[in-house]
Structure 1
Amino acid sequence: MMRSIYCALTIALLSGFAAQAQDVYVPYNRDVYHWIDRYQIKYGDQLPALHTAVRPFGRQQVAELAEISARNARTSADEFNTQYLLNDNWNYTNQDNNQSDRPVLKYLYQNKTDLYHYESNDFTLRVNPVLHLEFGHDNQSDGVRYVNTRGVQLEGSIDGRFGFYTFIGENQARFPSYVNDRIARDEAVPHEGFWKRFKEDGYDFLTARGYLNYALSKHVEIQLGHDRHFIGDGYRSLAYSDYAPPAFFLKLNTQVWKLHYMNLFQELISESNRSQGGDRLLPKKYMALHRLGLNVTDNLNIGVFEQVVFAREKGRFELQYLNPIIFYRAIEQAVGSEDNAMLGADFRWNIYNRVQLYGQLQLDEFKLNEVKSGNGWWANKQAGQIGAKYIDAFGLSNLDLQGEMNIIRPYTYQHRNTVTNYQHYRQPLAHPIGANLAEFIGIVHYQPIPRLMLTGKAIATRFGQDMVVDGDTLNYGGNVLLPYTTRVSNYGNEIGQGITTNQLHLDLTATYQFRHNLFVDLKGIIRKTDAQDNTLDKNTTYATFALRWNIPQRLHEF
């Protein structure tokens, strides 16, 4: 794998004469990306080059979208949001209003965005602190629940050809009870890699992300780093989500005409440091994924994608999967069909600059005769999503609604073992619950004044939990960590089988932005879990207060 990466980087360096100015990416923050989605729906037909199903987005394209929004903003909230996006991407636009009136100690906060910045013809640098202090109370736990994160974020460019980004944060946390239950089950802290115990019921972990990207030509870029990715326009992704921890990757982005083609090669970890019993080299696995998106019209985008997860002896990469334009299933069959190949499709359709319809279809296994028979064959492993976003709903400015339905059949994403199933560091790579579920999501965003955002979420999920009988786990197809060889039945499988559980997760959050990227959150969460096995019932209320600086909310919505 490393030899192949070195070859790719050598090609990049030798192609320098053709390179164009290169930008870094807007860090994936769901609150900020809601604004980007909002203005893409309203004005995206003027910027069809922004393919929204592959996230994060480049800063230059977001700056271009913000410039369009600046010319059309009609409310004070939209003017504020647009100015935020312009200021946050100031080195890619000349329309920002980012000059600071009162720098600190002459060199700090010379603009409104960055603690320190430097800009010349050859080099740009942005340095910002990272802070997340959150305190709350959970009715199922004793003592204060908290998150304490301190860190730094750096980004910039060199010679207009290289872009670089680094985020590092040191964390200590005491999570609410329902998160602790998940940690105990999977031996992994959600969204994180290596972790250790902190005091009695706390956790200590380091978060690190970083990448280097380079323009091979006007239309092709290469990116090497350690980060998360997200495929799709929904709140959930059934293809590849940002739930699992960052992973090492090599990515190629090609954008020409109406096409966007993304190739992603990743090195994943099949176990966690806790599941393997302390300090030791963890087993590696790999994933290759590509997606081809086409702008059929300025407001309609369709995409097809496929991915394959695999492992080889001594951690070797299967070189045949480096072919960026091959059909992975053909390779998977040719080498012996031991790997986990999947394929799917997605779409996004903006209607009258007010409504967006979107969806995904994921096929883990598909046999038409078995699907038509309706007998619940175990390998009918498919997932589907349909959703809609409604901007300025019912004529009320800055009221945005989103509704989404996700259905995932049992045993989807499972495979023979942990080195071929669809997970990284014992955490799902798609839906955070896993599979064997039907889910309905409703989200309301309302911005009554420029600096205040009110967000309400209702997530209703019906899923099946596994049973434990005499110490043995009966696999009903929901936990992606289990091998499908332990399935309970070949036929008669249906969504919600096992211990049928109905769960309602309600979240109401008020966020106030005091200054650029400095947020205060007041959050209330109510969770009601009603299972056939009464011992698994759990009703949770959780209230928190948080101060965030250059970091998104930490969400646990599973």
Structure 2
Amino acid sequence: MVLKKTVFLFFGLFLFLFTDLQGQYVDRKAHSYPKKFALDSNLMQEPWKHTTFKKKDSVYQTIIFNSVVHDALIKKQTPLYAIELNPELLLAAAAENQTSKNYFVSGGGGRLNYQHTQNFVFNASFVAFRQSGIITDSIRTSNNLLEDVFYSESTQDGYKALDLRVNALYKLSKFFKVGFGIDNHFTGDGYHSVIQGNNVPPYPYAKLSTSFWKIDYTVGYHFLKDVAWPDLSDTYRKYMTTHQLNIKLHPRFHVYAWEAIVWKQEDTITQRNYDMSYLNPVIFFRPVEFQLGSPSPDNVLLGIGFRWQPFNWMRVYGQAMVDEFYLKEITARNGWWANKYAFQLGVNSTFSRGNHCFQMRGEFNMARPFTYSYIGSMQNYGTRYTPLAHPLGANFGEVLSTVRWQWKGLGAFARVSYAQVGQNGEVNYGQHIYRSYTDREAEYGHNWLQGNLKSGVAADFRLMYTINPEMNLKLSLGVRKMPAFYANQNDLEEIYLRLSTFLSPQMKQLYQTK
């Protein structure tokens, strides 16, 4: 165990130093950073800051060549509003090793961005695609449990899926904004998040936020569904309320505190639905939870994080999630099962040399056994059989590095990660967050990465050419390895060719987890 921790620490330190040294060669003139690569300075980016439009005449841009190569399909801007409509496209072919066959993915859809003055923003996308030539996990696809899509269904030789994302935001006043839609959410600055990740299926939500002085505060209401594990045949409603408080201590140093509470729609006494106790935007969840009795039927989680930007071209970030916290048990160092926490530390560097743009990232993530799990799966920190935080669940360690280069339309991307997971067997070692934490063998003696330890390297190397930056239409050629952390599956190795504006869930995954 000591050797494993030393390897992780050494590798993480190496990535940090490498990224830091690379950043020394940056051109520090502010205008040398292309806007799409610049590190933003705000902890909370309002959607309209991502939907700015170049100044053009108020006419529709419908010339075929410009629409395909340079511009949006339809774009119009007036002093009152701006609208942009683009198609979505996915054509991909790959040869992989698990079945020694080729597989194909094809799909399409549309994306709409609308902005009315500075008070209302509406973004929506709809895509449908089909994958054939490789049989996927039939449980996930047939029971609509496929991650990162709205709906999925098995076919004879693969699966088909559709994805819907809708986000609306209205500025009520100078200090208040209200939003709603169907989407997943991400908290933090990392490639992954140990607080709230975006690898889950989209779900309905509403949020209310306020900004004043150096403070941003957001309350979110999330409408989830999940399985009553181990039964995966049906899903049931569960709910989550989140609070996030961001404080800008310095223009280059921000901190945030986060809390969430998860509960199921009905318990043994009543049909709770969305509990009115958790609608209050300015309460602490723990006192309300205590009023429900012991053990509480609801699951409270707490998180903290920071962002430090010492230079314009570099950002250091980190976060921690605490599922249970008893200082006495932590300092005793006796492996109490409920010492449940997760941790992230990373650095991101973006700089340019002439027309060459570079982005480098080094990141470390870990979670102790039983983190995110609860008495039952309907109160755990997940939705539709997918962890709401890191895709590896709990009882894992991960070191990840990415490098991106772009010169005009040409680009290259490399991503390598090394992960260790203490997997469950007949004994519950705390890795599977859908397995009840009451199904454990002992109260003490639980160590990080305990259980059936499996290691794996995930890698993705690709060359890209951006055909249309407005549509994000890219032609990519690459090779990929995706390790499997379940059911004695073999690692996936493939070579692929894509023409796409979006990716299917399998193309975005680093690991096979279920």
The TM-score range, normalised by the shorter chain, is 0.7 to 0.9
Partners of 1:98 and 1:467 in 2: how far apart?
A: 64
- Specify the alignment match of 2:27 in structure 1: none
Query: How many matched pairs?
Result: 470
- 1:103/1:110 contact within 8 Å kept: no
2:95 is aligned to: 137
The correspondence for 1:493, drawn from 442, 446, 466, is 446
What does residue 302 of structure 1 align with?
255
Q: Distance in 2 between matches of 1:147 and 1:272?
A: 32
Q: 1:205 aligns with which of 161, 177, 181?
A: 161
Supply the AA of the counterpart residue of 2:463.
A
Residue from 217, 223, 227 that aligns with 1:261: 217
Indicate yes or no: 2:244 matched with 1:291: yes
**Following TM superposition, by how much is the alpha carbon of 1:397 offset from its aligned partner in structure 2, in angstroms?**
5.5
The corresponding residue for 2:6 is: none
Separation in structure 2 between the aligned mates of residue 383 and residue 186 of structure 1, nearest angstrom = 30
Structure 1 gaps of 5+ residues are: 1-33, 63-87, 469-473
- Where relative contact order (Cα < 8 A, 6+ residues apart) is larger, the structure is 2
In the aligned structure 1, how far is the partner of 2:228 from the partner of 2:93? Answer: 27
Partner in structure 1 of residue 327 of structure 2: 368
What's the counterpart of residue 228 of structure 1?
184
Q: CA deviation at 1:350?
A: 0.8
Which stretch of the first structure deviates more once superposed, 335-344 or 118-127?
118-127
- Aligned equivalents of 2:230 and 2:103: distance in 1? 22
CA contact (8 A) 2:97 2:492 kept: yes
Contact 2:418–2:456 (8 Å) recurs in 1: yes
Aligned to 1:329: 286
* Preserved contact between residue 152 and residue 160 of structure 2 (Cα < 8 Å): yes
Q: Deviations over 1:269-322 (max 9, x none)?
A: 0129995547xxx41110111111111111111111111111242351111111
AA paired with 1:238? Answer: V
Q: Deviations over 1:59-88 (max 9, x none)?
A: 4434xxxxxxxxxxxxxxxxxxxxxxxxx6
Q: Give the CA deviation at 1:358.
A: 0.6
Aligned match for 1:252, one of 180, 201, 208: 208
What is the deviation of 1:390?
2.7
Equivalent residue for 2:501, pick from 523, 546, 549: 549
Report if aligned partners of 1:364, 1:412 keep a CA contact under 8 Å in 2: yes
CA distance in 1, matches of 2:46, 2:183: 14
Greater helix fraction, Structure 1 or Structure 2: 1
Of 473, 478, 484, 2:431 maps to: 478
Secondary structure in structure 2 of the residue aligned to 1:325 = coil
Q: Give the deviation of 1:149 after TM superposition.
A: 2.0
TM-score, length-normalised on structure 1?
Answer: 0.77
Which residue number corresponds to residue 478 of structure 2? 523
RMSD: 3.3
Query: For the structure 1 residues 362 and 195, does the alpha-carbon distance in structure 2 shift closer, same or farther, using more than 3 Å as the test?
Result: same
Aligned partner letter, 1:511: M
CA contact (8 A) 2:340 2:368 kept: yes
CA distance in 1, matches of 2:245, 2:133: 39
User: Partner of 1:72 in structure 2?
Assistant: none
Query: Do residues 127 (structure 1) and 85 (structure 2) align?
Result: yes
What is the distance in 2 between the residues matched to 1:348 and 1:37? 19
Aligned AA (1:549): T
Q: Residue 358 of structure 1 contacts residue 388 of structure 1 at CA under 8 Å; is this kept in 2?
A: yes
| Residue of structure 1 equivalent to 2:14 | none
5 Å-filtered alignment, 1:37-116, equals 38-40=37-39, 44=40, 48=41, 50-51=42-43, 57-62=45-50, 89-90=52-53, 94=55, 103-104=62-63, 109=67, 112-116=70-74
Instruction: Classify the secondary structure of the residue corresponding to 2:329.
Output: helix
Equivalent position of 1:513 in the other structure: 466
Q: Aligned pair in 2 of structure 1 residues 350, 196: CA closer, same or farther (>3 Å)? A: same
The alignment status of 1:353 with 2:306, answered yes or no, reads no
Q: What does 1:410-425 correspond to in 2, within 5 Å?
A: 410-425=369-384
**Closer/same/farther in 2, CA of residues 454 and 298 from structure 1, 3 Å limit:** same
Match for residue 459 of structure 1 among 417, 432, 450: 417
> Mapping of 1:393-412 within 5 angstroms?
398-412=357-371
Q: Which residue of 2 aligns with 1:241?
A: 197
Return the alpha-carbon distance in structure 1 between the equivalents of residues 167 and 38 of structure 2. 27
The aligned residue for residue 383 of structure 1 is 342
SS at match of 2:148: coil
Q: Relative to 1, partners in 2 of residues 1:383 and 1:397: Cα closer, same or farther, differing over 3 Å?
A: same
Amino acid at match of 2:98: Q
Q: In structure 1, how many angstroms separate the alpha carbons of the residues matched to 2:68 and 2:457?
A: 46
Cα separation, 1, equivalents of 2:36 and 2:475 = 22
User: 1:518/1:187 Cα in 2 relative to 1: closer, same or farther (>3 Å)?
Assistant: closer
Structure 2 equivalent of residue 164 of structure 1: 122
Q: Deviations over 1:494-525 (max 9, x none)?
A: 12222110111111122210122211111211
Task: Name the CA distance, whole Å, in 1 between partners of 2:404 and 2:312.
Answer: 17
Q: Is the 8 A contact 1:100 1:112 kept in 2?
A: no
Distance 1:545 1:317 in 2: 45
Judge which range, 124-133 or 410-419, deviates more: 124-133
Taking the aligned partners of 1:158 and 1:189, their CA distance within structure 2 comes to 35
Match of 2:75 in 1: 117
Q: 1:452 to 1:433 in 2, by over 3 A?
A: same
SS of residue matched to 1:39: coil
393 and 383 in structure 1: CA distance in 2 versus 1, 3 angstrom threshold: farther
Decide whether aligned partners of structure 1 residues 407 and 377 sit closer, same or farther in structure 2, where only a CA change above 3 A counts.
same
Q: Gaps (5+ residues) in structure 2?
A: 1-32
Shift in CA distance, 37/331, structure 1 to aligned 2, threshold 3 Å: farther
In 2, distance between residues paired with 1:123 and 1:231? 30
Displacement after TM superposition at 1:417 (Å):
1.1
- The whole-number CA distance in structure 2 between the counterparts of 1:427 and 1:230 is 14
Task: Confirm or deny that 1:430 pairs with 2:389.
Answer: yes
Tell me, in whole angstroms, the C-alpha distance in 2 between the residues paired with 1:475 and 1:182. Answer: 22
C-alpha displacement of 1:256: 1.8
Question: Cα offset for 1:242?
Answer: 0.3
Q: After superposition, what is the alpha-carbon deviation per residue over 1:371-402, rounded to whole angstroms, capped at 9, x for unaligned?
A: 11111111000001111123339999633321
Identity, in percent, stands at 26
Give the structure 1 partner of residue 12 of structure 2: none
Partner of 1:4: none
Equivalent position of 1:29 in the other structure: none
The residue number in structure 2 matching 1:82 is none
Distance (whole Å) between structure 1 residues aligned to residue 394 and residue 485 of structure 2: 18
User: How far does the alpha carbon of each residue in 1:202-254 deviate from its partner, in whole angstroms, 9 at most, with x for none?
Assistant: 11122111132211111211011111110001111011010101110001122
* Counterpart residue identity of residue 557, structure 1: L
* Pair 1:147-2:105 in alignment: yes
